A and B are shown apart, each in its own frame.
Chain A
Amino acid sequence: MKRISLKIAGAAAALTVGTAGTAFAADAIAGAVQQQATNWTAIVMFLLFVAGTLGITYWAASKTKTAKDFYSAGGGITGFQNGLAIAGDYMSAASFLGISALVYTSGFDGLIYSIGFLVGWPIILFLVAEQLRNLGKYTFADVASYRLQQTPIRLLAASGSLVVVALYLIAQMVGAGKLIQLLFGLEYVYAVVMVGILMILYVTFGGMLATTWVQIIKAVLLLSGASFMAIMVLVQYNFNFGALFQAAVDMHPKHLAIMQPGTLVSDPISAISLGIALMFGTAGLPHILMRFFTVADAKEARKSVFYATGFIGYFYILTFIIGFGAIVLLMNNPEFFRPGPDGTVNPLTNMLGGNNMAAIHLAKAVGGDLFLGFISAVAFATILAVVSGLTLAGASAVSHDLYASVFRRGRVNEQQEIRVSKMATVALGVLAIVLGIAFEQQNIAFMVGLAFAIAASANFPIIVLSMFWSKLTTRGALIGGFMGLISATVMVILGPTVWESVLAHPKGSAPFPYDNPAIFSVTLAFLGSWFFSIIDKSENARAEERAFEAQYIRSQTGIGAEGASAH
């Protein structure tokens, strides 16, 4: 059996970042872990997934002819399908492995995180979902620039999108490489290159239709696998939750402390700031926003959020049970641990492959090698599906916003635009591979947190203000949006995560004391947009205000909105 010792402290990030907790990400996997032996069951199952999804891509390619097909699957996805796809985008490998690992180490704290991720969805539905659908075409820049000047607003929106996509993509690629190394016993570089090539194939040939179906299939596989694990755990306790929790409290080194809030959320500013970043960041993620344009109308858009909220909520309940299952079924089983230098086993620090492997080890404990292979393959498929959606969102920002609207000023035909989009996909895929390799040894724990903070600070305020506030002007949106983008970035760099953990300054020396800047940067973006709009007395500003009414009527009634294309 080939075992290579690897340092993957940096990789912790990638697996846990989806949970955005920088403090938590830092201690999830630390120190040296060992690459697993080549896992053939997992490889075979993964190859089946790849073959199936490539088949779907082939089918989707034959249906993807127009720009509308490419960017938004022709608007023909149903609310239920889109709900699954949105849930799929959200249930990354990071949240599956990261949250179950958090429950394993800290119990109740995992639930606090899950809830933060979930509660953004109802708000999106109540306030913006149908307006997004009614105003948008392919990207959220269509919404923001509806009555404002195309060139500057699309530049702002494309910057916001590309920065968010790049950060998210790097985190996912590094996570993919590390995870595959651990699960399949494959070299890091091969894994990253393989993910890059597959995602280029899905997106360039199958566009949004293939990307959506890959996401749906993965969501179904992940939900089925996680349900099976949760049921197998509960069966051992005759579905008596009291007995499961009792056994976990008895076995866990922290005992009763796992049943209440721990140290994860300590000061109120951090707690509220994290809540804002998660809630409004969700409503500003370009790959999530794009999904609202794949359904036929506002009715289906609403249904998508309803189903997505249900699936995501259910998934978080499962990860909670899985985390507790890992406590009761793994902690007294030496098979899953490697003794420390002093020969003793600390179940919180000595898990094989790090604590993020809790759900993976539990798969083996409840379902043997076959099920372990299945869950490993699903974890890989999850990353593949998420990076495909991200790449499509990035490519759309390049081709639809930058190329067609800014560079060519709208004088472009569909085929040219699609060609640019495919070129952008290939370029982004290659870039993702290069960055994935470049960042292998870097601490990237802050990246998804930063992506959420930027989405909340740059994209979300502009979307909301352009929809609901008639006095927003191009100048106000531009200055406010860039203030949000720049302040979020600067505060993250000056904050403890990057300043102390990445740049290695002494602890406590960070100029900005909080890990999450959202409470400040989102406020700045709103204030900046407001201030620079009300002092804008130009002719343009007056015209933009006059154009609000027609936009408002379309956003409310859907009259004139993009419909589904006939197939």
Chain B
Amino acid sequence: MQQELTRRIRNNPKFAELTQKRTKFGWQLSILMLAIYYGFILVVAFAPSVLGIPIYGVITLGIPAGLFIIVTAFVLTGIYVRRANSEYDELNRQIIEEARR
């Protein structure tokens, strides 16, 4: 029974579509997040004075940059969850339904 389900899911082109789309999207967002974070860390390590450039009174570039990363982390998770919980879950539901038919 379980083997039969597995076979049907594997042979359903929608399964390949789901995993490809979701994996690709997950990696794109991960790379974006990692690039932003490690970009920030490299600036901290190699050119800390850049983050000390004043932009408004005593507020330096580092403050909005740091806030930007925090907000980005939250927004990116939101974007992923929104898409995964609608588009991908719908595709997933169809795959399971078709396998059980």
User: Which residues of A are at the interface with B, using a C-beta cutoff of 8 A?
Assistant: 108, 111-112, 114-116, 118-119, 121-123, 125-127, 130, 241-242, 245-246, 249, 256, 259-261, 265-268, 271-272, 275, 279, 298-299, 302-303, 305-306, 309-310, 313, 316-317, 549-550, 553, 556-560
Nearest chain B residue, comparing its CB with the CB of A109: B44
Of B2, B10, B38, B77, which is in contact with the most chain A CB atoms at under 10 Å from its CB?
Answer: B77
Cβ contact within 8 Å between B70 and A317: yes
Report the separation of the CA atoms of residues A256 and B37 in the bound assembly, to the nearest whole angstrom: 24
Those 9 A-B pairs whose CB atoms lie nearest each other, nearest first: A260-B52, A261-B48, A126-B26, A268-B45, A111-B66, A259-B60, A313-B70, A242-B57, A271-B45
Cβ contact within 8 Å between B66 and A108: yes
Report the separation of the CA atoms of residues A261 and B38 in the bound assembly, to the nearest whole angstrom: 15
If the complex has contacts A127-B26, A275-B37, A549-B10, are A313 and B71 also in contact, measured as CB distance less than 8 A?
yes
Cβ contact within 8 Å between A261 and B44: yes
Cβ contact within 8 Å between B41 and A272: yes
**B95 partner residues in chain A, CB cutoff 8 A:** 557
Report the separation of the CA atoms of residues A118 and B6 in the bound assembly, to the nearest whole angstrom: 37
Q: Return 30 A-B CB contacts under 8 Å, by A number.
A: A115-B70, A116-B41, A119-B33, A121-B77, A122-B29, A122-B30, A122-B73, A122-B76, A125-B80, A126-B80, A127-B27, A246-B57, A249-B58, A259-B52, A259-B63, A271-B41, A271-B45, A272-B45, A275-B37, A298-B89, A302-B85, A303-B85, A305-B81, A306-B81, A309-B77, A317-B67, A550-B2, A553-B10, A556-B22, A559-B96
Report the separation of the CA atoms of residues A45 and B39 in the bound assembly, to the nearest whole angstrom: 44
Beyond contacts A119-B33, A306-B81: 18 other A-B pairs, Cβ-Cβ < 8 A, are A108-B60, A108-B63, A112-B44, A112-B66, A118-B73, A121-B73, A126-B30, A242-B57, A245-B59, A261-B51, A265-B41, A268-B46, A302-B80, A316-B70, A317-B67, A317-B70, A556-B18, A557-B18
Least distance between A79 CB and chain B CB atoms (Å): 9
If the complex has contacts A259-B58, A556-B19, A557-B95, are A306 and B78 also in contact, measured as CB distance less than 8 A?
yes
A-B Cβ contacts below 8 A, count: 159
Interface size on B, residues (CB 8 A): 56
Report the separation of the CA atoms of residues A471 and B55 in the bound assembly, to the nearest whole angstrom: 52
Cβ contact within 8 Å between B77 and A125: yes
**A130 partner residues in chain B, CB cutoff 8 A:** 84
**B54 partner residues in chain A, CB cutoff 8 A:** 259
Least distance between A33 CB and chain B CB atoms (Å): 31
If the complex has contacts A260-B48, A260-B49, A261-B52, are A115 and B40 also in contact, measured as CB distance less than 8 A?
yes
Nearest chain A residue, comparing its CB with the CB of B33: A122
Report the separation of the CA atoms of residues A256 and B48 in the bound assembly, to the nearest whole angstrom: 13
Cβ contact within 8 Å between B77 and A550: no
Cβ contact within 8 Å between B45 and A560: no
**A560 partner residues in chain B, CB cutoff 8 A:** 2, 5
Least distance between B9 CB and chain A CB atoms (Å): 5
**B40 partner residues in chain A, CB cutoff 8 A:** 115
Report the separation of the CA atoms of residues A272 and B51 in the bound assembly, to the nearest whole angstrom: 18
Cβ contact within 8 Å between A242 and B9: no
Cβ contact within 8 Å between A553 and B92: no
If the complex has contacts A123-B30, A265-B41, A317-B67, are A108 and B74 also in contact, measured as CB distance less than 8 A?
no
Cβ contact within 8 Å between B62 and A553: no
Cβ contact within 8 Å between B59 and A119: no
Report the separation of the CA atoms of residues A116 and B38 in the bound assembly, to the nearest whole angstrom: 10
Nearest chain B residue, comparing its CB with the CB of A556: B19
Least distance between A518 CB and chain B CB atoms (Å): 13
Cβ contact within 8 Å between A268 and B6: no
If the complex has contacts A259-B59, A265-B44, A302-B81, are A310 and B51 also in contact, measured as CB distance less than 8 A?
no
Cβ contact within 8 Å between A557 and B96: yes
Cβ contact within 8 Å between B62 and A259: yes
Cβ contact within 8 Å between B62 and A260: yes
Cβ contact within 8 Å between B69 and A241: no
Least distance between A281 CB and chain B CB atoms (Å): 15
Report the separation of the CA atoms of residues A261 and B44 in the bound assembly, to the nearest whole angstrom: 6
Cβ contact within 8 Å between B37 and A553: no
Least distance between A429 CB and chain B CB atoms (Å): 35
| 8 Å CB contact of A313 from B42, B62, B74 | B74
Cβ contact within 8 Å between A275 and B77: no
| 8 Å CB contact of A271 from B44, B51, B67, B84 | B44
Cβ contact within 8 Å between B15 and A549: no
Cβ contact within 8 Å between B9 and A299: no
If the complex has contacts A242-B57, A242-B58, A549-B10, are A115 and B71 also in contact, measured as CB distance less than 8 A?
no
Least distance between B38 CB and chain A CB atoms (Å): 7
| 8 Å CB contact of B45 from A116, A267, A298, A302 | A267
Nearest chain B residue, comparing its CB with the CB of A249: B58
Cβ contact within 8 Å between B62 and A111: yes
Nearest chain B residue, comparing its CB with the CB of A274: B41
Report the separation of the CA atoms of residues A465 and B57 in the bound assembly, to the nearest whole angstrom: 49
